[in-house]
Structure 1
Amino acid sequence: MKLTKYTKLGLLIVFSFAIFIWGMNYLKGIDFFKQNTTYHVVYERVDGLLESSAVMMNGYQVGQVKSIDFSARNDGSLVVAFSLEGDFLIPRGSAARIVSSDIMGTKSIKLQIVPSNAYYQPGDTIPGSIEEDLKEQVSMQVLPLKNKAEQLLGSLDSAITVITYVFNAEARQNLAESFTRINQTILNLETASNEVSELLVSEKSNLQGIIRNMNELSASLNDNSDDFTNIVSNFSSISDSLAAADLAKLIGELHASAQGMNSILEKLDTGKGTAGKLINDEELYSNLADMSQSLDNLLKDLRNNPKRYVHFSAFDLGKNVYVSPERAQNKNADYTLKVHLISSPKRMSLENSIFEQFEQVEEVEISGVYSYLTGSTSDIDDIMKMHTKAKTVFPDASIVAFKNGRKVRLEKALKKLGN
Structure 2
Amino acid sequence: MKLSKYTRLGLLIVFSLSVLIWGLSYLKGNDIFKKSNYYHVEYNRIDGLVKSSKVSLNGYQVGQVSDIKFAPDNSGKLIVSLSVNTEFKIPKNSVARIISSDIMGTRAIELIFSNQNEFYQNNDTIPGSVEEDLKEQVSMQVLPLKSKAEELLSTVDSAITVLTVILNEDARDNLKASFTNFSQTMDNLERTTADLAELLSTEKDTIKNILSNVNELTAVFKANTENLETIMANLSSFSDTLSTISVTPMLANLTEASNQILVTLEKLNSDENSAGLLLNDDELYQSINALAENMAFLIGDIQQNPKRYLKFSAMDFGKEVYINTKDDASDKNIMFKVHLVSSKSKVDTKSEVFDGLKDVEEYFAGGVYSYLIGSTGIYSEIEEIHESVRKQFPESAIVAFKNGRLIKLEKALKQIR
TM-score tier after normalising by the smaller chain length: 0.3 to 0.5
The TM-score with structure 2 as length reference comes to: 0.46
Query: Which has the larger Rg?
Result: 1
